[in-house]
Amino acid sequence: MPGGHCQVRSPKPRHSIYSLTDSSDVGPEEEEVDDVMPRLTPLEKLTTDMCKDETTIKELIIGRRVGFYKVRGEIGCGTFSRVKLAFHALTKDKVALKILDKTRLDSQAQRLLSKEIHSMELLQHPNVVQLYEVVETPSRLYLVMEYAGGGDLHNRICSEGKLSDSASKITFAQVLSAIKYMHNMNVIHRDLKAENVLFTCSGCLKVADFGFSTQVSNRSDALDTFCGSPPYAAPELFKDESYLGPPVDVWAMGVLLFFMVTGTMPFRADTMGKLRRSIIEGAFTVPPWVPGPCQRLIKGILKPVPTERYALDQMLGCDWLLPVEFPWLMLPSEPESPVGSLLDSEGLDEEEEEEVRSSLEELGFTTEHLRNNQLKDSRSPITWCSSNPAAPSPEEEGL
């Protein structure tokens, strides 16, 4: 969760929500009635407001609220989508809300969107932006995603210059961890670039934007669609032939690494034709001041012949990354939601289990809620709360 974990603070009004008078003015009979009527949980109050409260209903109609999420300002836009900042009405945690106009999506865009959602539903990794929920209306589709408030790698380098050697190692190691995990899950990103590498406010890196991603049955499956940004595209993509997915992501990682350590791109040209020739020939020069081990890694990745490129395991063991530890690789192939383990006998230890269960119960989510909602997809707001059971209060977030 962006910004770290904080303790949930459930609202504690001085009086029952059913009473607008001071307790000293309430008669014995009224006090007895007030004690009998239970106070609504935050979940019950929210669902009631969405059906009966005029202000909440108006916000839903005009798009200021989407399901359980309150929508705020725009933070990005694409060809078919806009991305806005939002926050969960119960946990108050920030999310990125990708809004797509279904009426503008042709058949190809719909297929890509379906692949994007499927890929993100499969992936749960510390260095991959997580999809929390999908909300659909007759005209729009909303992807509720993890919010990374630290900006993207491209803007950081353009504004501050190339990364230091140590910062490059830490950044590239996290990208490598994310891509290795994706490939282990047979997901090919196909649009890896600095603009799609995001930072959280705490400095953790997140690979984002799975709009061109695809899942293969195995990593030797051939693909035939040109995807991604031309400066990051592998030579085989320009040859109008079928290609293997993993080497394409590996090539983009080489371009990304070059950009991190030099602040420039390895392949530059005035026209697309010249850029294409430059990439196919693999013509680039690494500045001599780049450390030797890093130079060897870049040259081992940016080889025009896909089969000659470094494999991900070779990168993990290269001299340049030897000082870097990889805690992000110590994950099971299919990570489980923390609250998913509440429904079986294994998973969290007793203290963690009690903390998660208590946090959810304060919000109004019971074991019955969890049993009636699948936690392994993104079609329910409970999925989000299950992944983020503890969040700051509105006062702490300044919302």
* Catalytic positions: 191
The runs of H, that is alpha helices, within 7-53 are 28-36, 42-52
Residue pair 142/97 in contact (Cβ under 8 Å)? The answer is: yes
Structure tokens at 86: 């939002």
Give the separation between CA 236 and CA 251, rounded to whole angstroms: 10
Please name the residues in contact with 270: beta carbons below 8 A apart, sequence gap of 6 or more.
Answer: none
Question: Which of 119, 151, 87 has the alpha carbon at shortest distance from 388?
Answer: 87
CA–CA–CA angle 206, 213, 240 (5° rounding): 130
Q: What is the three-state SS of 43-108?
A: HHHHHHHHHHCHHHHHHHHHCCEECCEEEEEEEEECCCEEEEEEEECCCCCEEEEEEEEHHHCCHH
Residue type for position 1: M
CB 253 within 8 A of CB 301: yes
Strands (E), 147-220: 187-188, 197-199, 205-207, 214-215
Find the radius of gyration of the CA atoms of the chain.
24
Nearest to 317 by CA among 189, 173, 199: 173
Q: What are 337-343's contacts with CB under 8 Å, separation 24+?
A: 337/124, 337/375, 337/376, 337/383, 337/386, 337/387, 338/386, 338/387, 338/389, 339/370, 339/375, 339/385, 339/386, 339/387, 339/389, 340/375, 340/376, 340/386, 342/367, 342/370, 343/367, 343/370, 343/371, 343/375
What are the two backbone dihedrals, phi and then psi, of residue 255, each rounded to the nearest 5 degrees?
A: -65, -40
3-state secondary structure of 311: coil
